[in-house]
Structure 1
Amino acid sequence: MCGRYSLFEDLNVLEEMFEFEYEGEIVPRYNIAPSQKILAIIGESGKRKGREFRWGLIPPWSKDIKIGYKMINARSETIAEKPSFKKPFESKRCLIPCTGYYEWKKEESGKQPYFFYLSSKEPFAFAGLYDVWKNKEETIVSCTILTCSANEKAQDVHDRMPVILKKKDQEAWLSSKSAPADLQELFKPYPSKEMDKAAVSQLVNSPKNETAEILAPLNSK
């Protein structure tokens, strides 16, 4: 499961790290929530391009765009079979850059949010799928984040985690030459030893809160 994440790295750094071009602008985001517009990277004519997608995949056949709220994540184990994800898995794969994601742990005092990030504190990329929905009035390009079983660092908080792609695997994920069957090996938990987590502010509970104060408990250490 991944229902909130952050992206607060400078665009120039992201473009260099993920080797893509983006004509738009980005601002620091500390609490990205479903249905919002997010930055994604696709392979296009042999180059990587940045695009703005809506988070929460809306299949082309859907009659109601609200279905996107139920499709913010896709279980990597079944995307080759599920009607909503099968076609995107074959030809509409994307990277979703991120600086960290949030999960909530049930504790006696209530649900405590945790922030998961790389030990290096570098941005990383989720494996994503996207699709195009349209009617007579509008066209929406939406996406979903793949999930897999949690690693040891994450499993005491949640039994699932996003599929995080190592740099060496990102080109294969985006390439139109990659066969879906060959990509299955990428759907594994990211190494625990390369990740950290920290309890953060309850401010993250509301998507209206979009400031660095969310990470204040982490940054104060």
Structure 2
Amino acid sequence: MLAKRDLARDYFDLADLDDLPERYNIAPTQPILVIVAGERQQPGSNLPERKAMLVRWGFMPGWVKDPRDFPLLINARAETAIGKASFRAAMRHRRILVPASGFFEWRRPEGKGAKAQAYWIRPKKGEILAFAGLMETWSSADGSEVDTGAILTTAANNDIARIHDRMPVVIRPEDFSRWLDCKTQEPRDVTDLMKPIDDGFFEAIPISDKVGKVANMGPDILEPVEERAEEAPAETKKGADAPPSSPDQLSLF
């Protein structure tokens, strides 16, 4: 079996990659690994060399003066990101890939006292995937810089819709170069990539609510539990780029 480092390096065709620690429960504002197009070309190819870097999970547009006055944007709606002021520049110039082994989501039933069910949602085949993302480097008044990022979301496919109405945008390996190519591929050229992944790609495994606490960081949070009886999901706000009220951790490399 390939080590996580080798798996990610081969999957994203990276020249090199530092060791990857096992991280099972990542929360907003924590660092996440992302893949960007480098300045040099890949050996024997006219495609840019890809490189990995860490960014803060929580997007901050460059024009924000005081982060305290701006909401934490961990997600960007794919349907509106091209035209929205917060994401317009990043969609044009700074598209990224976010390596992950899956993500967590909650089904929140209606009714007083009804308890939410957490799910570990992972690919049925393979150990790694890539979410579409955006990044921006925010500069403070004192000159310090922070690289920040957000994950693009789209309408849920049929497999995920019973749990939540949104899901991350998944970019397939054959589309990595096109998504990362911000020099020749304008946002309108990659809109076809920002759609729900095919039904059958993911499997949703019910897990305990331990995942809702960031302090719980061990692999035991992925252990399957008996699924609670399914009820109608509570309504979620439409059109918001800010995170919903449910926990927002993802499982990322």
Distance 1:27 1:69, change over 3 A: farther
- 1:155 paired to 2:161: yes
Matched residues in 1 for 2:21 and 2:70: separation? 24
**Residues 27-51 of structure 1 deviation map (CA, whole Å, 9 limit, x = unaligned):** 0111111100010000012200000
Is the CA contact 2:118–2:207 (under 8 Å) kept in the aligned structure 1? yes
The alpha-carbon deviation at position 192 of structure 1 amounts to: 1.5
Residue 154 of structure 1 aligns to which amino acid in structure 2?
I
Which structure's residues are more often helix, by fraction? 1
Matching residue of 2:13:
19
Matching residue of 1:73:
75
Is the CA contact 1:105–1:158 (under 8 Å) kept in the aligned structure 2? yes
Is the CA contact 1:101–1:117 (under 8 Å) kept in the aligned structure 2? yes
Matched residues in 2 for 1:137 and 1:208: separation? 33
Is the CA contact 2:64–2:70 (under 8 Å) kept in the aligned structure 1? no
The alpha-carbon deviation at position 24 of structure 1 amounts to: 3.5
Tell me the SS of whatever aligns to 2:174: helix
The alpha-carbon deviation at position 167 of structure 1 amounts to: 1.0
Matched residues in 2 for 1:65 and 1:138: separation? 13
Is the CA contact 2:9–2:17 (under 8 Å) kept in the aligned structure 1? no
Tell me the SS of whatever aligns to 1:203: helix
Bigger Cα Rg:
2
Matching residue of 1:125:
130
Matching residue of 2:25:
31
How large is the RMSD of aligned CA atoms in angstroms? 1.6
Matching residue of 1:171:
177
Matched residues in 2 for 1:142 and 1:154: separation? 27
Residue 76 of structure 1 aligns to which amino acid in structure 2?
A
Distance 1:66 1:118, change over 3 A: farther
The alpha-carbon deviation at position 109 of structure 1 amounts to: 4.1
Matched residues in 2 for 1:43 and 1:127: separation? 13
Residue 92 of structure 2 aligns to which amino acid in structure 1?
E
What is the TM-score when the length of structure 2 is the normalising length? Answer: 0.79
List gaps (5 residues or longer) in structure 1. 1-8
Is the CA contact 1:88–1:130 (under 8 Å) kept in the aligned structure 2? yes
Matching residue of 1:4:
none
Matched residues in 2 for 1:29 and 1:179: separation? 33
What is the TM-score when the length of structure 1 is the normalising length? Answer: 0.90
Is the CA contact 1:94–1:127 (under 8 Å) kept in the aligned structure 2? yes
After superposition, residues 138-217 of structure 1 pair within 5 angstroms as: 138-175=144-181, 176-217=183-224
**Residues 48-84 of structure 1 deviation map (CA, whole Å, 9 limit, x = unaligned):** 0000000010111112335675310000011111111
List gaps (5 residues or longer) in structure 2. 40-47, 226-253
Tell me the SS of whatever aligns to 2:104: strand
Residue 163 of structure 1 aligns to which amino acid in structure 2?
V
Matching residue of 2:54:
52
Matched residues in 1 for 2:186 and 2:77: separation? 18
Which structure has the higher relative contact order (CA within 8 Å, separation 6+)? 2
Distance 1:188 1:111, change over 3 A: same
Matching residue of 1:92:
94
The alpha-carbon deviation at position 21 of structure 1 amounts to: 3.7
Is the CA contact 1:201–1:213 (under 8 Å) kept in the aligned structure 2? no
Identity of aligned residues (%): 33
**After the TM superposition, which segments of 4 or more aligned residues of structure 1 sit over 4 Å from their partners?**
66-69
Matched residues in 1 for 2:70 and 2:9: separation? 28
Matched residues in 1 for 2:114 and 2:205: separation? 17
Matching residue of 1:6:
none
Matched residues in 2 for 1:67 and 1:52: separation? 24
